[in-house]
Homo-oligomer: A and B are copies of this chain.
Amino acid sequence: MVHVVRSFVRPTSAIVEAIAQFAPSTLHEAQGRRGDLDSRIKPVAPGMKFCGPALTASCHIGDNLMIFEAINLARPGDILVLSAGNNPDQGGFGEVLANTCLARGVAAFVTDAGVRDGAALRALGFPVFSLGLCMRGTTKETIGTINQPVVIGGQLIRPGDIVAGDDDGVVVVRAEDAGEVAKASQKREEYEAKIIEACRQGRNPDVSERQAVMKAKGCAWSS
């Protein structure tokens, strides 16, 4: 069995940039309400965001052995996505690894474990998405995988899938769906911009549409 796959096919930067235009919540809606990771996976500071191809890794719960080699295999712009057992009570990533990521051009780190050195991460401005801050360390003893499909936050992520995150959490877009998702996102955003503009002018086309649904379902208004 191979544990570490050295490389994977990355989406073109044009595709990544097309997806990066949109907020994760828009991408999630545009692809049919799919792809959202467990909402407990959040940025360590408000305002952090990212978009890029996933470099995937998995570690045994409470261990971070594979993370060093994963960073070593990264290319600029990659998002390091580490599945580590859905465990907020240990932090296997902190200031040193964040600096290592920055030196290699890794654009963000996403995990279903805790992380530490929260104040330092905030000062660095490196986007880290996790189950929260926890100083308790991990071991470096057990083999996991690199660049194989992983399950994290209730989603399957394959190397090269596009992941995007902001204050709302993280969403995955399949590489092969990215073009279509970008288009649908664009359409959704244009629609929403119109609604917002209409609201500012005192109209709201959404309301009459919802009232129609309400009436159709038997809703009764007081006189």
Taking A86-B154, A116-B168 as contacts, is the C-beta distance between A221 and B136 under 8 angstroms? no
A90 CA to B100 CA in the complex, in Å?
Answer: 31
In the complex formed, the residue of B with least CB distance to A99 is: B196
A89–B25 Cα distance when bound, in Å, is: 13
The CA-CA distance from A187 to B116 in the complex, in Å, is: 19
**Contact in complex: B118, A207 (CB < 8 Å):** no
Q: Report whether B25 and A91 are in contact in the complex, using a CB–CB cutoff of 8 Å.
A: yes
The answer to whether A155 touches B166, judged by C-beta atoms less than 8 angstroms apart, is no
Q: Is the CB of B3 within 8 A of A221?
A: yes
Interface residue range, chain A: 35 or more
Q: Is the CB of A167 within 8 A of B119?
A: yes
Q: How many copies does the complex hold?
A: 6
| Residue in B1, B117, B136, B200 whose CB lies within 8 Å of A103 | B200
Interface residues of A (CB under 8 A from B): 1-6, 23-25, 28-29, 33, 36, 38-39, 42, 45-47, 49, 60-62, 65-66, 68-69, 71-72, 85-91, 94-96, 99-100, 102-104, 114, 116-120, 122, 132-137, 139-143, 149, 151, 154-156, 166-169, 171, 192, 195-196, 199-200, 202, 204, 206-207, 210-211, 213-214, 217-222
Q: For A136, what are the chain B residues with a Cβ–Cβ distance below 8 Å?
A: 28, 33, 36, 39, 61
Give Cα distance in the complex from A72 to B205, angstroms.
11
| B contact residues around A46 at 8 Å (CB) | 45, 118-119, 122
CA distance A1 to B220 in the complex (A): 7
Bound CA–CA A66/B214 (angstroms): 8
Contact B222 A167 (CB under 8 A): no
Complex contact A219–B25 (CB within 8 A): no
> Is B3 a contact partner of A200 (Cβ separation < 8 A)?
no
The answer for the CA separation of A113 and B149 in the assembled complex, in Å, is: 25
Q: Which of chain B's residues have a CB closer than 8 A to the CB of A25?
A: 91, 94, 116-117, 135, 137
Contact assessment for B39 and A167 in the assembled complex, using a CB-CB cutoff below 8 Å: no
